[in-house]
Amino acid sequence: MVTGNKRCHKTRLTSPLDLSLYPLLAFSTLDRQHVFKTVDQHQGVSNATARTMTISRADERYLRQSQFDPIGTEGQARIEKARVAVLGCGALGSVAAELLARAGVGMIRLIDRDLVEWSNLQRQSLYTEVDAKTAAAKAEAAASHLRAINSSIEIDERVVDISSNNIAANLENVDIVMDATDNFSARLLLNDWSIQTGTPWVHGGCIGAGGQVRLFDGGTPCFRCLLPQPPLPGETATCDTAGVIGPATHLIASLQACEAIKWISGNRFDVRDEVLSVDLWHNQIRTIRLSPAENCRACVGQKFDFLNASATEESSAETLCGRDAVQIAGAGVAVDLGRMAQAWESVGEVKMSRFFVRLSLPEQRVLTLFRDGRAVISGVRDIPHARSLFDRYVGS
């Protein structure tokens, strides 16, 4: 251990050349080795020219990433040619998109149907108060911020509600898809499309202080082996009913981004083949081995029920004439209104009758859920926004 004057003697430099390079002691060992190598290669070149050449190399945007051995310069080149779609620009998608943009992914397609709200700012770190004040479209706001972060990559933003009718057009020509959706129906639709096209996707889900991640490569097992059907309305909690903390969403999004970077950089053997489940609050990490389901309709039977669903089979919605309201058709199954009312108690004012349960939301919006699963959302004219509220507070 070197202390006191001994440390000074250890780093004392004597010659004029040494003194001129003294600031390099603040650099990492690899940086210093590169600078000295550069100086050796350019003996006889003017100091100004050599300094410019050295600084431009040391300041290269992706230097630290390409120095990571599994990636290297070849992997970095692959990353810069990759095309990634981020399906959903909320808590997971906005963070994953930022990490991928900073990593240098060549093209990022942002797809989201929702607007920035004040409640997003607690965990969706890409957005600002200005975005919430103006109720900016998430895909548009995210694109603007990502262009400011990395102007050398292509950003393609699309404010759309993904359905069986438009998923192919919106996910065409991408190498991998990031699942940052907020509902199970969208994931099962994405799973069908992935198997049909052979395009991988990285599943991520988060609620409370925990979440899970797994990359599905378009083969078997698939997401439907894990979840054969969407849960019934109110059967599972959502972030809006159970809450969620920022560290959890950032961790899950980071794990998703890492799996994607492994894949697009050519390190596919390092991709995790298990479901990784994390509970930050109780400091628990576990893995779940997923085996192909013998009777899986998607990856085994090649039956794409969600991809081939007609508009009437999907959860259809329509604006109500003469009212600022949207009606969303139910799945035709009975809803446990009491359970739903209990889940909403921490969200806002709840009223219940024999036939429906009603939740009052900020900005004079009201969600009324009927026993048959049908919902009317008042104070909203935009169908994608209404669907988003339905998925957040009821589930899909």
- Give 347-369 pLDDT, tens digit per residue: 999 998 877 899 999 888 999 99
* Cα(247)–Cα(231) distance, integer angstroms: 26
- What count of other Cβ atoms lies within 10 Å of the Cβ of residue 242? 13
Count of structural domains within the chain: 3
CATH, residue 339? 3.30.310.10
Where is average pLDDT lowest: 10-14, 95-99, 187-191, 224-228?
Answer: 10-14
Does the residue 186 lie in any domain?
A: yes
Domain boundary among 239, 272, 288: 288
Q: What is the DSSP letter of 300?
A: T
The pTM for the full model equals 0.75
The reply to whether 245 and 364 lie within a common domain is no
Tell me the percentage of the chain whose pLDDT exceeds 70: 82
Does the residue 308 lie in any domain?
A: no
Flag whether pLDDT at 18 surpasses 70.
no
Tell me what pLDDT residue 371 has. 82
The reply to whether 89 and 213 lie within a common domain is yes
The reply to whether 93 and 222 lie within a common domain is yes
The reply to whether 156 and 189 lie within a common domain is yes
Does the residue 306 lie in any domain?
A: no
pLDDT tens-digit map of 94-135: 999 999 999 999 999 999 988 888 989 999 999 999 999 988
Tell me what pLDDT residue 94 has. 98
The reply to whether 55 and 78 lie within a common domain is no
The residue ranking higher by pLDDT, 246 or 323, is 246
The reply to whether 189 and 215 lie within a common domain is yes
The residue ranking higher by pLDDT, 20 or 76, is 76
Q: What is the DSSP letter of 323?
A: S
The reply to whether 283 and 342 lie within a common domain is no
Spell 107-135 as b/e; 16+ CB within 10 A means b.
bbbbbbbbbbeeebeebbbbbeeebbeee
Domain of residue 240, residue span:
72-288
- Are 113 and 385 spatial neighbours (Cβ–Cβ below 8 Å)? yes
Flag whether pLDDT at 30 surpasses 70.
no
- Are 75 and 123 spatial neighbours (Cβ–Cβ below 8 Å)? no
